[in-house]
Chains A and B, each alone.
Chain A
Amino acid sequence: EMVVTQSPATLSVSPGERATLSCRTSQSISSSLAWYQQKRGQAPRLVIFDASTRAAGFPARFSGSGSGTEFTLTISSLQSEDFAVYYCQQYSNWPTFGQGTKVEIK
């Protein structure tokens, strides 16, 4: 099974600051990576797919990068509505997810 590892588990950031979330896969997956946002009590939402393509409804402050085994989600200037848990998921093979990164207010 493809293992997906996210870091850090919790990221404390002040509004307006940049947040950088990491995701690593145990094997190379090219660009077959998605990011999801989940707020408390809500359904997850697709943020990024194909490692760097923004999903509909997400502003340009969200960006994804990386290929192979190392990936990054960057939120350039955190807004109040961005505080949430973020999961990455590989889809090079049967889908597997990371454990999530909680982005909290500092």
Chain B
Amino acid sequence: EVQLVESGGDLVQPGGSLRLSCEASGFTFSGSAMSWVRLAPGQGLEWVSGISLSGRSTYYADSVKGRFTISRDNSKGTVYLQMNSLRVEDTAVYYCARYTGSYPRGLFDYWGQGTLVAVSS
């Protein structure tokens, strides 16, 4: 059974940093591209960032480019999202998702339960 378990969400002040983790199991992690998708209050889903199988290629939405960094450790089956210079508008539930296809054309066939990031003073 495919499982994606996110952690690391918290309440943080504007300008602060946070690191999210997503631990994967039930599939060959090193054979799968991964992504982070967020759901802000009252809004629709927004793709945030993606990473290739090896981790050599990374991709970002314009809204987070230069502030967020995605990475992965295939030996641990884990993908990370380092979030710096956080803004109030980054407040959202962040989901880890397995990405099917080749960036930029793909979809998300498995999702985690999400972790809440709240940015507020």
Say whether A associates with B. yes
| Residues of chain A at the chain B interface (Cβ within 8 Å) | 32, 34, 36, 41-46, 49, 55, 87, 89, 91-100
Q: Which of A34, A42, A55, A97 is close to B46, meaning CB atoms less than 8 Å apart?
A: A97
Are B104 and A93 neighbours in the complex by a CB distance under 8 Å?
A: yes
Q: A residues within 8 A CB of B101?
A: 91
Name B97's closest neighbour in chain A (CB-CB): A44
A interface, over-half SS: loop
Name A87's closest neighbour in chain B (CB-CB): B45
Are A94 and B95 neighbours in the complex by a CB distance under 8 Å?
A: no
Are B107 and A95 neighbours in the complex by a CB distance under 8 Å?
A: yes
The winner among A36, A42, A55, A98 for most chain B CB atoms within 10 A is: A36
Q: B residues within 8 A CB of A96?
A: 47
Q: A97-B45, A97-B46, A98-B44 are in contact. Are A89 and B107 (CB under 8 A)?
A: yes
**B1-43 Cβ-contact flags toward A at 8 Å (1 or 0):** 0001000000000000000000000000000000000000001
The 7 closest A-B pairs by CB, nearest first: A99-B44, A97-B45, A43-B111, A94-B104, A34-B107, A95-B47, A44-B111
The winner among A41, A42, A92, A95 for most chain B CB atoms within 10 A is: A95
